[in-house]
Amino acid sequence: MPLSSTDEIVDPAYQETTGVGAFNVVQIEHAEAIVAGAEEAGLPVILQISENTARYHGSLAPIAMASLALAGSAGVRVAVHLDHAESTDLVREAVDLGFTSVMFDASRLPYEENLAATYEITDYCHRADVWVEAELGEVGGKDGAHAPGVRTDPDEALAFVTATGVDALAVAVGSSHAMLTRDAVLDFDLIARLRTAVGVPLVLHGSSGVGDADLAKAVAAGMTKVNVSTHLNQTFTRTVREYLTAHPETADPRKYLGPARAAVADEVARLLRVLAGR
């Protein structure tokens, strides 16, 4: 079916208090696996490309065009989203390429500067009919994001959303980026208070560090868009390592990338069902 807009996927989930999976694309095999997993589950999905990934490929366009093509030929609703963009030029490029949403991350700036920069980007994107996610609070490294002082304040979150007009807000509630273990301790009461306060979908970053049961609890408490990257990379890399250990003579990368792609597809399908409460 045609490329879906992100709000077509996120808004129904927000209204129904269910979760939507947003999975990061590093290379084309990731995008293929994510779409295949969504089709297996019969559920919508969001493909995400981060600023770091664009930098890895040398530019945004090649991996973006592949992801957009896969999204546009999928059998389920698929949106393509720019993740953790700090560069305004990259946001503008993503809009020009046809991305249906962007996550503009000015969370490292002082509050007033974050607000001003986010307002400017949101105004630009909305004029192009592009959905905008922003971040308030620090979803940083494992230690920092578990410190009480970096959690998102509901009153400040409401003021930020009202002033910027963003469509969704990534909040700091106890998860951390790049966790290799699934033992993050989420503040479910804070999630519920944030959902009540802000009136737009909440986004959980660092979800690779959250176990299945707590992912389901986070969605029930008020999270809508759930970002997963490191967990899928672990699945991908583990499968490649196992194949090459068993077949050390292998030279053709398709021999080990294919099984890794299939393993990620299975995990995407499983996680989508967890988030959808199925």
* CA 66/CA 72 separation, integer angstroms: 10
* CA 209/CA 26 separation, integer angstroms: 19
- Residues in contact with 156: Cβ distance below 8 Å, sequence separation at least 6, in sequence order: 111, 136
Q: Is 101 helix (H, G, I), strand (E, B) or coil?
A: strand
The answer to whether the beta carbons of residues 223 and 133 sit under 8 Å apart is no
- Which contiguous run of DSSP H or E holds residue 228? strand 223-228
Q: Indicate if 83 belongs to the active site.
A: yes
Q: Which of 11, 83, 105, 214 is catalytic?
A: 83
Q: Is 4 helix (H, G, I), strand (E, B) or coil?
A: coil
Catalytic site positions = 83
